[in-house]
Structure 1
Amino acid sequence: MAEVFKQASFPWWIAGGRAIELFVGRELRTHGDLDVLVLRRDQTRVQECLSGWDLHIADPPGTHKLRAWGFGEILEEPLHDIWCRRTPDAPWSVQLMLDDAVGEEWVSRRDRRVRMPIARLSRFAADGTPYLAPEVQLFYKAKHTREKDEVDFDAVLPLLDRDQRAWLLAALRATQPEHPWRKRPQ
């Protein structure tokens, strides 16, 4: 994806478990695909970068039903997951996720109270590839915590600075006040 988005004139981030691994500096598990986060407002530019790819939107979200994402089609909320593959007979390889923004502030699609300056979302791998801030990725993983999310949380927590921990705790307090991660040693 770094090569595909190399000339992109919009922000994008490696997300999901691979973003966690980029932050901790080591592989934690195998992955079936690559998650990439982009801002909803940049979706037409994303389509241009992925011209020639086979793109399908999960519609409605959470049902595992996919339909082709037509070139130039603007996806409104609640649509946010786009499955991507290089050709129609290739396996799905990228899950593209759309999030919202207001001005220069990222806004969580799950709860509009959860926000962060867009500039703070970015961390960079050694090769310059942008990836999502670990506290934001953990926030997304907290909704339906699975064993792999617990592994990610355990790997990331000791590496978060005070501001990152405070942001994650505040986001969880606002959205999931009883989440067990809020009770873990800080």
Structure 2
Amino acid sequence: MSEIKEIWQPLSVDEVQGIFSPMPIQWWIAGGWALDLYLDRITREHDDIDVVILRSQHLLLQKYLFSDWEGYKAFKGKLTPWNKNEKLETHFDNLWFKKKGKSSWAFQVMIIDCEDDYWIYKRNGTIRRKLTDFELTTSEGVSYIRPEIQLLYKGGSSWIREKDNLDLENVLPTLDDVSREWLRDSLTIQYPNGHPWIERINACIDSSHNRKLK
């Protein structure tokens, strides 16, 4: 087991698509790249690239990656090799990958749980969404997490970074009110005593309503 060293040379979205598209699994771009795909523009520099898969398909993922890529389990600041045919326990949901023979990380895979075709938010299992309402797709056929769900992951973290606040400011004005309200309500469920984004989201919703009344 080793400390996580963040030396990244992340793949591009096109490169990730080239690796993942031949696999018979469901996958989605996540993180900041998912938001930029939604906005159809690059809003900031990205230090890494995240891909989301279903837990039920993680061994199938390994089968297709094992010959060319080394996978490591990231947990509590430590990296542990992901051994061949090793079924991951439920607390492992973060995998880092690098090309065999290379020292820099290329992409990260996040594992999500689902039940009865519903995605389950790992930080509060009462927050769920139909898998059919979990994604959007670019004109090039790249699937990515819906922006309000990705913002929930960012805002629901115990540490909201400057880039997360920037992502909120870039994306929030482009969402419809249904998506804004879903994000606000989900953050309220997770943080019943308040969350720093709630006031900003409500202001955006109120502004939208006022425009419709004019």
TM-score by length of 2: 0.82
Q: CA deviation at 1:8?
A: 2.6
Q: Are 1:171 and 2:186 counterparts?
A: yes
How far apart, in 1, do the equivalents of 2:127 and 2:28 lie? 18
Q: What CA RMSD, in Å, does the superposition of the two structures yield over aligned residues?
A: 1.2
For residue 180 of structure 1, give the secondary structure of its aligned residue in structure 2: coil
Structure 2 equivalent of residue 43 of structure 1: 58
For residue 97 of structure 2, give the secondary structure of its aligned residue in structure 1: strand
Q: Are 1:100 and 2:127 counterparts?
A: no
How far apart, in 1, do the equivalents of 2:31 and 2:103 lie? 22
The counterpart of 2:199, out of the listed 159, 183, 186, is: 183
Q: CA deviation at 1:90?
A: 3.7
Aligned pair count reads 183
Q: Of Structure 1 and Structure 2, which has the larger fraction of its residues in helix?
A: 2
The percentage of counterpart residues that share the same residue type is 34
The counterpart of 2:38, out of the listed 1, 23, 26, is: 23
For 1:11-160, list aligned pairs within 5 A. Answer: 11-52=26-67, 53-58=69-74, 61-63=75-77, 65-142=78-155, 143=157, 144-160=159-175
Q: CA deviation at 1:117?
A: 0.4
How far apart, in 2, do the equivalents of 1:46 and 1:172 lie? 31
User: Cα deviation per residue 1:12-63 (whole Å; 9 max; x = unaligned)?
Assistant: 11000000111111112112221011111111111123122110001xx232
Report the AA paired with residue 55 of structure 1: G
List, as ranges, runs of 4+ consecutive aligned residues in structure 1 with deviation greater than 2 Å.
Answer: 7-10
How far apart, in 2, do the equivalents of 1:129 and 1:69 lie? 27
Please say which structure displays the higher CA radius of gyration: 2
For structure 2, the 5+ residue unaligned runs are 1-15, 206-214
User: Cα deviation per residue 1:50-96 (whole Å; 9 max; x = unaligned)?
Assistant: 122110001xx232x11110121111221111000112424101111
For structure 1, the 5+ residue unaligned runs are none
For residue 19 of structure 2, give the secondary structure of its aligned residue in structure 1: coil
How far apart, in 1, do the equivalents of 2:23 and 2:123 lie? 26
How far apart, in 2, do the equivalents of 1:73 and 1:180 lie? 40
For residue 18 of structure 2, give the secondary structure of its aligned residue in structure 1: coil
